[in-house]
Structure 1
Amino acid sequence: MRLPRLVVAAPASGHGKTTIATGLMAALRRAGHTVSAHKVGPDYIDPGYHALATGRPGRNLDPHLVGDDRLVPLLLHGASTPTPADVAVVEGVMGLYDGQIGTDGYASTAHVAAAIGAPVILVVDISHASRTIAATVAGLAAFDPAVRIAGVVLNKAGSQRHSDEVRRALEVTGIDVLGVIGRDDGVVAPSRHLGLVPAEERADAEASVHRLAAQVAERVDLEAVLRIARTAPDLADQPWSPPADEDVRAGAPRPVVAVAGGRAFTFRYAEAVETFRAAGLEPVTFDPLRDEALPDGTAGLYLGGGFPEVHASALGANTPLRAAVRDAVRSGVPTIAECAGLLYLTGRLDGTPMTGAIAARAGMAPRLTLAYRTAIAPQETLLAPAGGRVRGHEFHRTTVAPAAGEQPAWLLDGRPDGFSLDPARVGYATVHASYLHTHTAGTPGAVARFAEAVRAGGVSIARSARASTNGETRSARASTKDNPAGRGRAERGSRPPTPTPAGRGRAERGSRPPTPAANLHHHGDAEVRGTDLVDLAVNVSREPRPGWLDRALHDAVTASTDYPSADAARDAIAARHLRGVDEVLPTAGGAEAFTLVARMRTWRHPVVVHPQFTEPEAALRSAGHEVDRVILSDTDDFALDPARIPEAADLVIIGNPTNPTGTLHPAPTLRSLARPGRVVVVDEAFIDAVPGERDSLASARTPGLLVVRSLTKTWSIPGIRAGYLLGDATLLSDAAPHQPPWSVSAPAAAAMIACSSPHAVAEAERRAAAVVRHRAVLVDGLRELGIAVHGDAAPFVLAHVGTGVREALRTAGFAVRRCDTFPGLGPDWVRIAVRDPATSHGLVAALASVRAAAPSRGAPA
Structure 2
Amino acid sequence: MVTTPLPRIVVAAPASGHGKTTVATGLMAALAAQGMQVSGHKVGPDYIDPSYHAMATGRPGRNLDPFMVGAQQIVPLLLHGAAAADVAVIEGVMGLFDGRLGTDGESSTAHVAALTSTPVVLVVDISHASRTHAAVVAGLAGFDPAVRIAGVILNKCRTDRHADEVREALRRTGIPVVGVLPRDTGVETPSRHLGLIPAGERTESAATLDRLAEVISAHVDLDAVAAIAATAPPLDGPAWDAAAEVTAPSAAAPMVAMAGGRAFTFRYAEVEELLRAAGCTVVDFDPLTDPALPPGTAGIYLGGGFPEVHAAALAGNPSLVAELRTAIASGVPTVAECAGLAYLCRTLDDTPAVGAVDAAAAMTPRLTLGYRTATAPADSLLGRLGEEVTGHEFHRTRVTPHAGGIGGTDDYGPAWLLPTAPDGFAGPTLHASYLHVHWAGHPQLAQRFADAVHRRAASTRAPAADMMRHHGDAETGPDLLDFAVNVYPGPRPGWLNTALRGALDDADAYPDPTEARAALAARHRRPTQEVLPTAGTAEAFHLVAGLRRWRRPVVVHPQFTEPHNALTDAGHTVTTVLCRPDDGFGLHPAAVPDDADLVVVGNPTNPTGVLHSAAAIRRLLRPGRVVLVDEAFLDAVPGEPETLTGDRSAGLLVARSLTKHWSIPGIRAGYLLGDPSLIADAARRQTPWSVSTPALAAMVACSGAHAGVESRRRATELQQWRAQLTEGLAHLGVRYVAGRAPFVLARVGGGVHATLRDRGIAVRRADTFPGLDDGWIRIAVRAPAATQRLLGELDRLLLKPRGEDHGDHGIRVPGGERAVTSR
TM-score normalized with structure 2 length: 0.54
Distance 1:366 1:209 in 2: 32
Post-superposition CA distance 1:267-301 (Å, at most 9, x none): 00011110000111111110000001001100111
Where does residue 85 of structure 1 map in the other structure? 85
Q: Aligned residue for 2:515?
A: none
SS in 1 for 2:179: strand
Q: Secondary structure at the match of 1:450?
A: helix
Q: 1:105-140 CA distances to partner (integer Å, 9 max, x unpaired)?
A: 000000000000000000000000001111110111
Aligned equivalent of 1:125:
125
CA offset at residue 365 of structure 1?
Answer: 1.1
The 3-state SS of whatever aligns with 2:200 is helix
> Structure 1, residues 179-231: CA drift from partner, whole Å, max 9, x if none?
10011015121000111100000010011001100110010000000110000
**2:648 corresponds to:** none
Aligned-partner SS, 2:82: helix
Q: What SS does structure 1 have at the residue aligned with 2:397?
A: strand
CA distance in 1, matches of 2:447, 2:355: 28
- 1:710 aligns with none
* Residues matched between the structures, number: 453
The 3-state SS of whatever aligns with 1:26 is helix
Conserved in 2, the CA contact under 8 Å of 1:299 and 1:460? no
CA distance in 1, matches of 2:298, 2:375: 27
Percent identity reads: 64
Q: What is the deviation of 1:22?
A: 0.4
TM superposition shift of 1:65: 0.8
Distance 2:186 2:414 in 1: 45
Question: Residue 49 of structure 2 corresponds to which residue in structure 1?
Answer: 46
Change (3 A) 1:169 1:247: closer
The separation in 2 between residues aligned to 1:246 and 1:289, in whole angstroms, is 32
- In 1, Cα distance between the equivalents of 2:194 and 2:383? 29
Distance 1:197 1:248, change over 3 A: closer
Task: Please list, as runs of the form range in 1=range in 2, the aligned pairs for 1:348-427 lying within 5 A after superposition.
Answer: 348-402=347-401, 403-404=406-407, 405=410, 406-413=412-419, 415-421=421-427
- Contact 2:247–2:277 (Cα < 8 Å) also in 1: no
Once residues 165 and 209 of structure 2 are traced to their aligned partners in structure 1, the CA distance between those partners, rounded to angstroms, is 30
Q: Which amino acid aligns with 2:189?
A: A
- 1:675 paired residue number: none
Partner of 2:570: none
Point out 4+ residue stretches in structure 1 off by more than 6 angstroms: 458-462
Contact 2:247–2:447 under 8 Å retained in 1: no
Return closer, same or farther for 1:171/1:255 CA change in 2, 3 Å cut-off. Answer: same
> Which letter maps to 2:451?
E
Deviations 1:227-251, CA, capped at 9 Å, x for gaps? 100000111111100145886378x
> 1:691-730, aligned counterparts within 5 Å?
none
Contact 2:289 2:317 in 1 (8 A): yes
Counterpart of 1:167 in 2: which secondary structure?
helix
CA contact (8 A) 2:246 2:274 kept: no
3-state SS, counterpart of residue 457 of structure 1: helix
> SS at the partner of 2:103?
coil
In the alignment, structure 1 segments of 5+ residues that lack a partner are 422-428, 463-480, 482-861
| In 2: Cα distance, 1:167 partner to 1:245 partner | 48
Match of 2:332 in 1: 333
CA contact (8 A) 1:9 1:109 kept: yes
Corresponding residue for residue 556 of structure 1: none
Task: Give, as a single letter, the amino acid of the residue that structure 2 aligns with 1:270.
Answer: A
The aligned counterpart of 1:275 is 274
Instruction: Give the drift of 1:454.
Output: 1.4
Contact 2:382 2:431 in 1 (8 A): yes
Is the 2:178–2:224 contact (alpha carbons within 8 Å) kept by the matching residues of 1? yes
* Corresponding residue number in structure 1 for 2:252: 253
Which residue in 2 is equivalent to 1:232?
232
Structure 1 distance, partners of 2:90, 2:460, is: 41
Change (3 A) 1:272 1:206: same
Please tell me whether the aligned partners of residues 19 and 186 of structure 1 are also in contact (alpha carbons under 8 angstroms): no
Give the TM-score normalised by the residue count of structure 1. 0.52
Q: CA deviation at 1:103?
A: 0.2
Shift of 1:253: 1.8
Shift of 1:456: 1.4
Amino acid in structure 2 at the alignment position of 1:140: L
Determine the C-alpha separation between the residues in 2 that align with 1:457 and 1:121: 49
Deviation of 1:407 after TM superposition, in Å, equals 1.2
Amino acid at match of 2:349: D
Q: Which residue in 1 is equivalent to 2:23?
A: 20
2:171 partner letter:
E
Distance in 2 of aligned mates of 1:149 and 1:185 = 25
Deviations 1:358-409 (A, max 9, x none): 1000000111111000010001111111001111100000000025255100
1:693-745 Cα shifts (integer Å, max 9, x gaps): xxxxxxxxxxxxxxxxxxxxxxxxxxxxxxxxxxxxxxxxxxxxxxxxxxxxx
Match of 1:63 in 2: 66
Q: Distance in 2 between matches of 1:191 and 1:157?
A: 23
Q: Counterpart of 1:748?
A: none
Give the AA of the match of 2:282: P
Partner of 1:473: none
Which residue in 1 is equivalent to 2:218? 218
Secondary structure of residue in 2 paired with 1:343: helix
Alpha carbons of structure 1 residues 174 and 206: separation in structure 2 relative to 1, 3 Å:
same
Cα shift at 1:325:
0.3
Alignment of 1:179-328 (within 5 A): 179-185=179-185, 187-243=187-243, 248=248, 252-328=251-327
CA change 1:238–1:245 in 2 (3 A) is: closer
Distance change >3 Å, CA 241–CA 130, structure 1 → 2: same
Q: Distance in 2 between matches of 1:247 and 1:394?
A: 29
CA contact (8 A) 1:304 1:341 kept: yes
Q: Structure 1 residue 106 and structure 2 residue 109: aligned? A: no
Q: Which has the larger radius of gyration?
A: 2
Please give the alpha-carbon distance, in whole angstroms, between the structure 2 residues aligned to 1:248 and 1:221. 47
Task: Decide which of 6, 17, 23 is 1:3's aligned counterpart.
Answer: 6
Using the TM superposition, give the Cα deviation of residue 458 of structure 1 relative to its aligned residue in structure 2, in angstroms.
Answer: 6.2
The one-character-per-residue Cα deviations of 1:590-630 (angstroms, maximum 9, x if unpaired) are xxxxxxxxxxxxxxxxxxxxxxxxxxxxxxxxxxxxxxxxx
Contact 2:249/2:454, CA 8 A, preserved across alignment: no
Deviations 1:660-697 (A, max 9, x none): xxxxxxxxxxxxxxxxxxxxxxxxxxxxxxxxxxxxxx
What's 1:160 paired with? 160
2:687 aligned partner: none
Deviation, 1:450, is 1.0
In 1, the alpha carbon distance for the partners of 2:229 and 2:247 equals: 42
* Structure 2 residue identity aligned to 1:378: P
Q: What is the CA–CA distance in structure 2 between the aligned matches of 1:296 and 1:180, rounded to whole Å?
A: 53
Q: Which has the higher contact order (CA 8 A, sep 6+)?
A: 1
Counterpart CA distance in 2 for 1:362 and 1:301 is 20
Aligned partners of 2:171, 2:369: CA distance in 1, in Å? 39
CA distance 1:376–1:414, change in 2 (3 Å): farther
Give the Cα separation in 1 of the matches to 2:444 and 2:329. Answer: 25
Contact 1:347 1:359 in 2 (8 A): yes
The structure-2 alpha-carbon separation of the partners of 1:397 and 1:122, relative to structure 1 and needing over 3 Å to count, comes to same
Q: Secondary structure at the match of 2:242?
A: coil
Following superposition, the deviation at residue 459 of structure 1 comes to: 8.3
Cα shift readout 1:132-175 (whole Å, capped 9, x = no counterpart):
11111011101111100000000001111111111111111111
Letter in 1 for 2:254: P
CA contact (8 A) 1:331 1:459 kept: no
